[in-house]
Amino acid sequence: MTITYREALRQGLREALAGDPRVFLVGEDVGRYGGTYAVSKGLLEEFGPERVRDAPLSELAFVGAGIGAALGGMKPIVEVMTVNFSLLPLDQIVNTAAILRHMSGGQFAVPLVIRMATGAGRQLAAQHSHSFEGWYAHVPGLKIVAPATIDDAHGMLGAALAEDNPVLVFEYPALFETAGDLSSTPVDIAHAAVRRQGTRVTIVAYGGCVPKALSAAEKLAAEGINAEVVDLRVLRPLDMDTVLASVRKTRRAVIVDEGWRSGSLSAEIVARIMEQAFYDLDAPVARVCREEVPIPYPKHLEEAALPQPEKIVAAARGLFQ
């Protein structure tokens, strides 16, 4: 069945609500408005206001309420409109949800899922276009997932709800209109995936940058460079076994990250490759990140600030010079 990334997210939400009476959705505009990105459209009419709850404009309050509901035995899905706004409940996420299991000696679980839109590419300007996935991947006690495909957009939510610890699901508005086939393959939130087999260079990406990595791999193939593309899928805990197996095969690597280069998740991945596969490399590991600026509003400047297939191709090509 061919559906869009947006519809895959909606189907995942619908199945979660239908499958467990403990599950409810809460966030700004998730009910009557149908969600800022129309992901929850129609769910209020189907499940009612007790299960699809419009929240006041206070992320600190409704994320905290979600944590309390999780502690009380519910399975809340909290929607934060955009990752930029997640800085408002940062204390609730990092200083409460992430550490309660540890600080209670394992007595309390926090089966909370927080969904948020992330990334740039839709001319939403700097206050709606950050990519903070790498920030959250720094925090023990959280699991961080980044669906890049139709199957993952549909299936990662159900897998996240099965966890006893908080899971943050980062969704990519730049992918919402992309379409593909929805399969019946089970989705896990533990492993990276090789999206394209190759032998000459490994391109590691996640989320909205995966299609760009695949496009770059096609361009490189035309030059005789057969690139392998690894989709991280899960940013914490990182599945480095899959990444290292690919790097040991191709002996070269390019890391693509929509976050800023300084202090980025890409830096962590490069460090782990250097620690564990240094003698397997034939060239230094390269990185392609967003430019060190707030995301501009004009389309041509926004595109220039982000990783693009041409930049990935140039970085990979440079490993052979």
Report the alpha-carbon distance of residue 72 to residue 222 in Å, rounded.
56
Strand order of the β-sheet with 193-196 is 193-196, 227-231, 201-205, 253-260, 286-290
Identify the CATH homologous superfamily for domain 2-181. Answer: Thiamin diphosphate (ThDP)-binding fold, Pyr/PP domains (3.40.50.970)
Mean pLDDT by 10 residues, the chain (321 residues): 95 97 97 95 97 96 98 97 96 97 96 97 91 97 98 97 97 96 93 98 98 98 98 98 98 98 97 98 98 95 97 98 87
DSSP conformation class of 296: P
Active-site residues, by number, are 59, 128
**Shared fold status for 2-181 and 193-318:** yes
For CA atoms 37, 43, 49, 53, the dihedral sign is negative
Residue 264's pLDDT is 96
How many other C-beta atoms can be found within 10 angstroms of the C-beta atom of residue 284? Answer: 12
Residue type, 145: V
Report the alpha-carbon distance of residue 236 to residue 277 in Å, rounded.
20
Residue 315's pLDDT is 98
Residue 111's pLDDT is 97
Report the alpha-carbon distance of residue 266 to residue 235 in Å, rounded.
11
In the chain, where the domains are located:
2-181, 193-318
Let me know how long the chain is: 321
Given CATH 3.40.50.920, say whether it is the number of domain 193-318: yes
Residue 321's pLDDT is 87
Tell me the DSSP string of 58-118: -HHHHHHHHHHHHHTT-EEEEEEEEGGGGGTTHHHIIIIITTHHHHTTTS-----EEEEE-
Element housing 223 (H / E): none
